[in-house]
Structure 1
Amino acid sequence: MSDDFHDFFDENTHWVEQGAAAPAGNASEPPKPPKSRKEMRKRRAQRRRKRVSGIIAALVVIAVIAGAGYFGVTKLMAWRDSRSQNTAVAADYPGPGYGEVDFTVDDGQGAAEIAQNLVEADVIKSAAAFTSLVSANSTTLYPGTFTLKKHMSASSVVAILSDSKQAAGFLEVRPGERSADVIEAAASLTGIDQSDFDAIVKNKGKGILPSEANGSFEGWFEPGTYNVKSMKTASAVLKAMVDKRIAKLDDLGVPTGKDRERVMIIASIAEAEVNKSDYYAKVTRVIENRLEQGMNLGMDSTVAYGNNVKPAQVTTAMTQDESNPYNTYKIAGLPPTPISNPGDTAIKAAMNPEEGDWLYFCTVNLDTGETKFATTAEEHDKNVAELRQWQADNQ
């Protein structure tokens, strides 16, 4: 009981400094003691409720202030970003511009890097004006050298850089292309004399080709895009494409030596014979099955290569010409070299042919590329008849 009274009087005692006036009214009188323990406990509970209520109220006030501050900062940041973006987009030249600028986009460059280079060349006013348009429209920007002007509008520049036909100075090597066509295009783009390239080819690519190539560039140009305009010699151009091919074959795990050349020959035939990736591994299986059974490959694509024509231009006389080392109708085994530059899919198919016992294949629809495979000559004849009917209906 004594502790309760001590607590009560400690909390209700009012101290007066010496010389200070006493509180007015009844405040100077000491508090009346509780009449009972029950009343004491009641007063103590009331005091505790007041303390808790005060703490809760303080926490609520703090939370409200913090929430309002966060909301205000968020809104302010959003307003700032929106204003910044609008300002960046607005920072654009009206166009059409003046003068002439040769602008190069390197292979692998992103929109931000291209935009910064455009600003430095004084083609566009701000990088943001360019990148926002590219992002909003999911635009593809092509490598190459483009003819632009100073002070162009960002939209005009995007339209040009997204048009591959307006690119110059970059050599694009496509899967299935022959080396002679690639070299001719390289000479045209670089301005290097064709004779410089021919001299290297005649010298069997000494110092450039690996030993597996047996002195032939066919099949040894890696498909892709090359900035040949920046290269000064024919040797540099050819070496860039061959080095990239070797690196890719190593990455794909293609065995070295004679096995590597064999893979390249088979892959090049598959690349030339079909135009759908679904069929590559089946075609390579047909080639392997025919070789295993001692059958001639009988491929129009190899005959065409030996005559420097397209497969559709092969004649019966060509298939009977035994002087053509690429005439697989008359000469057993694989041709002496690849017949084109195969892509990754064809190379993988040459290393891992699909399981099957097919010996024949025929493309029955030249528009869609639909190709049918057969295990017997009779079944193959039906597929050939289907092709002839399609040709008759689509002449």
Structure 2
Amino acid sequence: MTDLFTASTLPPTGATTAASRSRSGNGRDRKAARRRKLRRQVRTLLVLVITLAAVAGAGWFVFRETDLFGFVSPLESKDFPGPGGEQVQVEIAPGAPGEAMGQALYDAGVVASVGAFVEAYEANPNAQLIQAGTHVMLTEMRAADAVALLAKNEKVELKLTIPEGYTVAQVVDRAVEVTGLDRAAFDAALADPASIGLPAEAGGKAEGWLAPSTYYVVPNDTPASLLSQMVQQTVGSLTQRGVPQDQWQAVLTKASLVEREAKFPQDRPKMARAIENRLERGMTLDIDASTAYGLGKPGTELTYEDNHDANNPYALYVHLGLPPTPIANPGSSALDAVLNPEPGDWVFWVAVNLDTGETKFAETIQQHNKNVEELRAWQAANGG
């Protein structure tokens, strides 16, 4: 057997042929080339990663600092130098967090950014005092000044106070005077009971259902919304007192009579009892205030003929029972008197002093006539 690698075919020990040197050199070059290529690829990848990171960071900055149309974003904490320009009204919603307040102010041109407002809001301990409502602000305010002004709660509010015993006509007069809203719009709302939430028990008439109270009027209020608040407060009062719904109108009617007849709170429970006693005995109520309401004239100007005019459904000297509707809008004390009348057998009452309104109650006609004599004496001493 012949060894393929005989001495004649092997190079001398320690020697390298030109061909072998060439092959060895080429191998080293290829390896070096691969290493250089790898280093270039790594550098390229690093550059790409850094570039992408820079682009992403720039994109986030652009997203934060500009909106889709290229304007400065409200998220940027830019601030106006102040002190402010023209007045504007800003509505702060109930329970609004600082970000929502800032957005409302930014939209109105009050602050330069939501971010600046939120920072100022979080830095001001009085910010938690800010109340919902319409606030008067200035355009281009410093965020810190805007927070401080909001915390003062100098809101745009009109106070509409409706006294106890006002009629619907008087309520509308007062509302038009205070708010400047159109009277025709009030009339239109009253003519549309559904628009003010008037219950079916009212029979389409708002008399007695416009609760006396103080109402805070904001710029977006309308006659219908104001009247609706009054109706809802009355419904709430009746519901809270546990009055069955089928008795709502009767209770309001009785309370309106008490409201207009009794001058002092301590007289109202007695008055309510006297009215109940007369109704139970089938007696006419003989209430001047009802006659006056039906005729649209002051009670002090009534005549005997007025009180006995059968054409007036509110003339309770000739018509048994309650009048067709309440004659005024009663307050809470009149409602409570009707629901909790004072125990007693009174069926008569008369004001014996027309200046002070002092009223005396009687169980019998004899007692009543004596009280009437006292009234006549006062009239004689005071010019009739």
The TM-score bracket by the shorter chain reads 0.5 to 0.7
The offset of 1:344, in angstroms, is 0.9
- Aligned counterparts of 2:162 and 2:250: Cα–Cα separation in 1: 22
1:222 is aligned, of 208, 211, 215, to 211
1:236 is aligned, of 206, 225, 228, to 225
- 1:304 — aligned with what? 292
The offset of 1:202, in angstroms, is 2.7
Describe the shift of the 1:118–1:376 C-alpha distance in structure 2 as closer, same or farther (beyond 3 A).
same
Describe the shift of the 1:382–1:234 C-alpha distance in structure 2 as closer, same or farther (beyond 3 A).
same
Question: Would you say the 8 A contact 2:156–2:218 is kept in 1?
Answer: no
Report matched runs for 1:141-156 at 5 Å.
none
2:332 is aligned, of 344, 349, 363, to 344
Describe the shift of the 1:180–1:387 C-alpha distance in structure 2 as closer, same or farther (beyond 3 A).
same
1:175 is aligned, of 158, 164, 167, to 164
Describe the shift of the 1:247–1:393 C-alpha distance in structure 2 as closer, same or farther (beyond 3 A).
same
1:210 is aligned, of 171, 187, 199, to 199
Question: Would you say the 8 A contact 2:136–2:156 is kept in 1?
Answer: no
The offset of 1:204, in angstroms, is 4.1
Question: Would you say the 8 A contact 2:167–2:329 is kept in 1?
Answer: yes
1:370 aligns with 2:358: yes
Give RMSD over aligned pairs: 3.5
Which string of whole-angstrom CA distances, capped at 9 and with x for unpartnered residues, describes residues 320-361 of structure 1? 211111110111000011111111111011112111111100
- Aligned counterparts of 2:237 and 2:165: Cα–Cα separation in 1: 16
- Aligned counterparts of 2:212 and 2:312: Cα–Cα separation in 1: 27
The offset of 1:229, in angstroms, is 4.9
Give the percent of matched residue pairs that are identical in Structure 1 and Structure 2.
Answer: 41
- 1:273 — aligned with what? 261
- Name which one, 1 or 2, has greater alpha-carbon Rg: 2
- 1:149 — aligned with what? none
2:305 is aligned, of 317, 335, 347, to 317
- Aligned counterparts of 1:269 and 1:188: Cα–Cα separation in 2: 27
Question: Would you say the 8 A contact 1:171–1:186 is kept in 2?
Answer: yes
- Aligned counterparts of 2:365 and 2:88: Cα–Cα separation in 1: 59
Question: Would you say the 8 A contact 1:205–1:216 is kept in 2?
Answer: no
- Aligned counterparts of 2:255 and 2:374: Cα–Cα separation in 1: 27
SS of the equivalent of 1:226 reads: strand
Which string of whole-angstrom CA distances, capped at 9 and with x for unpartnered residues, describes residues 79-124 of structure 1? xxxxxxxxxxxxxxxxxxxxx9999xxxxxxxx879xx89999xxx
Question: Would you say the 8 A contact 1:296–1:331 is kept in 2?
Answer: yes
SS of the equivalent of 1:323 reads: coil
1:359 aligns with 2:347: yes
Describe the shift of the 1:234–1:317 C-alpha distance in structure 2 as closer, same or farther (beyond 3 A).
same
The offset of 1:196, in angstroms, is 1.5
- Aligned counterparts of 1:101 and 1:393: Cα–Cα separation in 2: 61
1:189 aligns with 2:178: yes
SS of the equivalent of 1:227 reads: strand
Aligned length: 252
Residue segments in structure 2 that go unaligned for 5+ positions in a row = 1-85, 90-128, 140-154
The offset of 1:306, in angstroms, is 0.4
SS of the equivalent of 1:303 reads: helix
Scaled by the length of structure 2, the TM-score of the pair is: 0.58
Which string of whole-angstrom CA distances, capped at 9 and with x for unpartnered residues, describes residues 149-205 of structure 1? xxxxxxxxxxxxxxxxxxxx3211111111111012212333322112112223345
Describe the shift of the 1:287–1:236 C-alpha distance in structure 2 as closer, same or farther (beyond 3 A).
same
Letter in 1 for 2:186: F
The offset of 1:377, in angstroms, is 1.4
- Aligned counterparts of 2:221 and 2:367: Cα–Cα separation in 1: 55
SS of the equivalent of 1:366 reads: coil
- Aligned counterparts of 2:196 and 2:223: Cα–Cα separation in 1: 13
Letter in 1 for 2:216: N
The offset of 1:316, in angstroms, is 1.5
- Aligned counterparts of 1:207 and 1:357: Cα–Cα separation in 2: 40
Question: Would you say the 8 A contact 2:88–2:137 is kept in 1?
Answer: no
Greater Cα offset, 381-390 or 188-197: 188-197
Question: Would you say the 8 A contact 1:179–1:341 is kept in 2?
Answer: yes
Which string of whole-angstrom CA distances, capped at 9 and with x for unpartnered residues, describes residues 27-65 of structure 1? xxxxxxxxxxxxxxxxxxxxxxxxxxxxxxxxxxxxxxx
The offset of 1:215, in angstroms, is 0.9
Question: Would you say the 8 A contact 2:211–2:329 is kept in 1?
Answer: yes
- 1:255 — aligned with what? 244
- Aligned counterparts of 2:320 and 2:277: Cα–Cα separation in 1: 13
SS of the equivalent of 1:170 reads: strand
Question: Would you say the 8 A contact 2:87–2:138 is kept in 1?
Answer: no
The offset of 1:256, in angstroms, is 1.4
Describe the shift of the 1:235–1:389 C-alpha distance in structure 2 as closer, same or farther (beyond 3 A).
same
Scaled by the length of structure 1, the TM-score of the pair is: 0.57
Question: Would you say the 8 A contact 2:185–2:223 is kept in 1?
Answer: yes
1:292 aligns with 2:290: no
